[in-house]
Amino acid sequence: MKRLPAAVLFVLGFAAAGAFSGAVIADVTTSTTTSTVATTTAETTTSATTTASAPPASGPTLPHGVRVAGVRVGGLRPADAVSAVQLAFRRPLPVVVDDTKVLLDPTQVASAYSATAVARARISESGANVQLVVAVHGPELRTWLAAIEKRFARAPVDATLKLKQGKPFLTKDKPGRALSTSRLAEKIVAELQANTRLPVQVRTKAVAPKVSVGTFAETIVINRSTNRLSLYDLGKLRRTFKVATGQAIYPTPKGVWHIVVKWKNPTWYPPVQDAWAKGLKPVPPGPGNPLGTRWMGLDAPGVGIHGTDEPASIGYSASHGCIRMEVPDAEWLFDHVQVGTTVYIL
């Protein structure tokens, strides 16, 4: 009978010890997630340990202080870090052309290797800033740049000179604007690779027209039917002179011509190709010179505007194709026109 109480006490003591030790292990395994220890515990303890120690689907968190292209990903799980980098990359890039802002969607022209960068960040030291590799798609970027160029660039407009109802009509020139798309592309690629969204600023460049209004500062209109020469300044009539134009057999040629040479006190040389000049000799400068004191040659072969030693012919169709003026009038016109002046002959 004495041994029975002792046995009972032993069994009760063993059961109590087992319960106590099981509670301690369960607590440890919950906090440390050590599955090896958990396997030595009771069945209920093993179940609790397995749930607590299962690794997360996206793996361990990244080192604290780590960034990917400036995006803070330290302490995040890899999947969350990839999402954060992708979200930052999708931010629109402001592009300022002159004073106008447009937004570029980076995903339309480039791809960012976010997962690769996060994988490198996982093995980087705390505080590191991992580079984000960005692949820019050339065709898509060129298409976007072409649309921007079409919007902001414009070709210069040349001044034009036309004849309307016997009078010169002048349209003004307009400067153009040029946009360096290659320079803009360089800036955009640099910003995308740095993953910054600071505004990219570019300015268009003025492009001067090839033909300005000044090109037509003076215009001459010669009317063969009235034997009148009119000088226009920027489309406005300045002076009109009586002239002599070509005879019916030697007509002054119609068309649009230009003054190509200007000579003072010219020597007259007989046109060897014309029968009427056969046997004539050159005439040096002086009172008897058929050209007077001034010659303004046109790009019409053998034709020019000049003075004359026959003032009585002025107002008639009396020349051999040239336009004769009284000597004082020819001298005045000579001083007010330039080589290149447009001459309309009607």
What is the Cα–Cα distance from 58 to 50, expressed in whole angstroms?
A: 18
| CATH number, domain containing residue 238 | 2.40.440.10
Is 6 part of a structural domain of the chain? no
Taking only the tens place, the pLDDT of each residue in 312-331 is 999 999 998 999 999 999 99
Shared domain for 298 and 198, answered yes or no, is: no
Question: How many other C-beta atoms lie within 10 A of the C-beta of residue 119?
Answer: 15
Tell me, yes or no, whether 149 lies in a domain. Answer: yes
**Is-contact 221 163, C-beta < 8 A?**
yes
Task: Identify the pLDDT of residue 4.
Answer: 40
If asked whether residues 120 and 238 sit together in one domain, one would say no
Q: Would you say residue 17 lies in a domain? A: no
pLDDT at 2: 41
Range of the domain at 204: 60-159+176-211
44 assigned to some structural domain? no
Strands ordered across the beta sheet of 129-130: 71-72, 67-68, 129-130
The separation between CA 236 and the C-alpha centre of its own chain, rounded to angstroms, equals 38
User: Which amino acid, residue 305?
Assistant: I
Predicted local distance difference test score (pLDDT) of residue 158? 95
Do both 67 and 144 map to the same domain? yes
Contact, 136 vs 189, CB < 8 A?
yes
Question: Which of the four pLDDT bands, split at 50, 70 and 90, describes residue 287?
Answer: confident
Domain assignment of residue 330, yes or no? yes
Model confidence band, residue 215 (pLDDT cutoffs 50, 70, 90)? confident
Same domain, yes or no: 147 and 75:
yes
**Domain-embedded: residue 40:** no
Residue 185 included in any domain: yes
Indicate if 198 and 89 belong to the same structural domain: yes
- Angle, to 10 degrees, between the axis of helix 78-89 and the axis of helix 114-122? 140
Q: What is the pLDDT of residues 237-254, one digit of tens each?
A: 999 999 999 999 999 999
Active site residue 320: no
Q: Does residue 13 form part of some domain?
A: no
Catalytic residue among 137, 258, 320, 322: 322
Mean pLDDT: which of 1-5, 124-128, 215-219 is highest? 124-128
CA distance 264 to 295: 7
Q: How many degrees, rounded to 5, is the angle at CA 79 between CA 76 and CA 80?
A: 45
Please tell me the distance from the alpha carbon of residue 7 to that of residue 18, in angstroms, as a whole number.
Answer: 17
pLDDT of 280 reads 81
Least confident of 93-102, 192-201, 274-283, 306-315: 274-283
On whether both 184 and 261 belong to a single domain, the answer is no
Based on the fold, state whether residues 70 and 184 are members of the same structural domain: yes
Annotated catalytic residue within 137, 258, 306, 320: 306
The structural domain count of the chain equals 2
The CATH number of whichever domain residue 70 belongs to comes to 3.10.20
Total-model pTM: 0.62
Are 269 and 181 members of one domain?
A: no
Residue carrying structure tokens 């406005």: 236
Could you give the CA distance from residue 261 to residue 296 in angstroms, rounded to a whole number? 6
Is the domain of 223 the same as that of 319?
yes
Same domain membership, residue 189 and residue 238: no
Residues 89, 128 within the same domain: yes
At 230, is the secondary structure helix, strand, or coil?
A: strand
Contact (CB, 8 A) for 41 and 103: no
Residues 275 and 200 in one domain: no
306 catalytic? Reply is yes
Q: Are 134 and 88 in contact (CB under 8 A)?
A: no
